[in-house]
Amino acid sequence: MDRLVVMKTFVTVAKSSSFSAAARELAISGSLVSRHVADLERQVGVRLVNRTARSVSLTDAGKRYAEFAERILTEIDVEDSDLSGSRDAAEGTLSIICPKWIGTLEVGDAIAAFVREHPRITVRFELGGMSDRNYDFLDRGYDVAFHTRDLRDSNVLVRRVSELPFVLAASADYLRRKGTPQTVIELSDHDCLLHPNDPVWRLGAGAETIHHKVQNAPVVANSYLVIEKLVEQGCGIALIPRRPAESRLDSGELVEVLSQHRPPARALYAVHAPGGQTPERVRVFLDFMTAWFRARTAA
């Protein structure tokens, strides 16, 4: 028998001095009330009530236990209320983990806007990654993880937040020196800078998709920020996130290469714990991020 259930029954009996009155208040049968009290007496090992044909009274032990049980039940109710309130309020600490390139080049500005709009939420933002075990971030205490893989796992919920466009680009200076490739095959004659996540460049879409495996890259760097800087310095051609490079593309400092074979955008996913008890701060954050990226894409 659930200890808290029988404690609640006993406290109700103690207050009403009647099994039948307690049964009516709890909407259970009188025999079940009697059984709950008997079960509790067996658990604590002492008699708690004196039973007569007409009335119920508490023993000295019963009076002490009734005070104790009522205090425990009240504390549980208060704690439940506090927890429910924290879930329903957009406040507290929001812990986020995000791959370095996404956090640096894409998500950082959105989080800055979120913090300004929600000052009661403290953000703990870490640049890192998720392990092969999709829900590892939950074990590490994070509320939300960003990823570009659609994680199909019953242990997590996945929301598609945005699409991250990529561009094949080089500096105007590099193209003046080395020439501009007109076909994907001609990339083999150029210095192609490589991110280890992209050993094969997927260019074009649908039936027109071409896969180009980068060979003998002069630089391999696990940071798109570093690769973009190298492209700006005229070190070669690279596949880089488009939005952070947009202003330099507009100014002509960087030039899109093979625009007829544009790489497909990559989906940005926000991953969080499953279940209906998602804290309000997490729900508010996910809604904000989705709207922020949608507005940015439409601009």
First and final CA of the chain: distance in angstroms? 61
The pTM of the whole model exceeds 0.85 = no
Give the integer Cα–Cα distance in Å for 21 and 65: 20
- CATH 3.40.190.10 residue ranges of the chain are 92-163+266-298
Strands (E), 189-247: 192-193, 200-203, 210-213, 237-241
Tell me: the pLDDT tens digits for 116-156? 999 999 999 998 765 544 457 877 888 999 988 766 666 78
Strands (E), 70-216: 92-98, 121-127, 144-147, 157-164, 166-171, 192-193, 200-203, 210-213
At which residue do the structure tokens 């699409």 appear?
Answer: 163
User: 223-228: which pairs have CB atoms within 8 A and are 24 or more residues apart?
Assistant: 223/100, 223/101, 223/195, 224/101, 224/104, 224/105, 224/195, 225/101, 225/104, 225/105, 227/193, 227/194, 227/195
Q: Are 234 and 160 in contact (CB under 8 A)?
A: no
The length of the chain, given as a count of residues? 299
- CATH 1.10.10.10 residue ranges of the chain are 3-88
At which residue do the structure tokens 């392990």 appear?
Answer: 131
| Lowest-confidence segment of 54-58, 147-151, 277-281 by average pLDDT | 147-151
Q: Please determine, for residue 4, whether its predicted confidence score (pLDDT) is greater than 50.
A: yes
Question: What local confidence, expressed as pLDDT, does residue 60 receive?
Answer: 92
166-261 classified as CATH 3.30.450.40: no
Domain 92-163+266-298 belongs to what topology? D-Maltodextrin-Binding Protein; domain 2 (3.40.190)
Share of the chain above pLDDT 70, in %: 89
| Lowest-confidence segment of 51-60, 109-118, 173-182 by average pLDDT | 51-60
Question: What local confidence, expressed as pLDDT, does residue 88 receive?
Answer: 47
3-88 classified as CATH 1.10.3720.10: no
| Lowest-confidence segment of 204-213, 227-236, 237-246 by average pLDDT | 204-213
For residues 181-202, give the mean pLDDT. Answer: 95
- CATH 3.40.190.290 residue ranges of the chain are 166-261
For residues 7-13, give the mean pLDDT. Answer: 89
Q: Strands 200-203, 210-213: parallel, antiparallel or unpaired by DSSP?
A: antiparallel
Closest of 119, 151, 122 to residue 137, by C-alpha? 151
Identity at 22, one-letter amino acid code: A
For residues 68-72, give the mean pLDDT. Answer: 87
Average of per-residue pLDDT values in the chain: 86
Q: Please determine, for residue 85, whether its predicted confidence score (pLDDT) is greater than 80.
A: no
Question: What local confidence, expressed as pLDDT, does residue 53 receive?
Answer: 66
For residues 77-88, give the mean pLDDT. Answer: 56
Give the integer Cα–Cα distance in Å for 168 and 170: 7
Q: Please determine, for residue 87, whether its predicted confidence score (pLDDT) is greater than 50.
A: no
Maximal C-alpha separation, the chain: 106
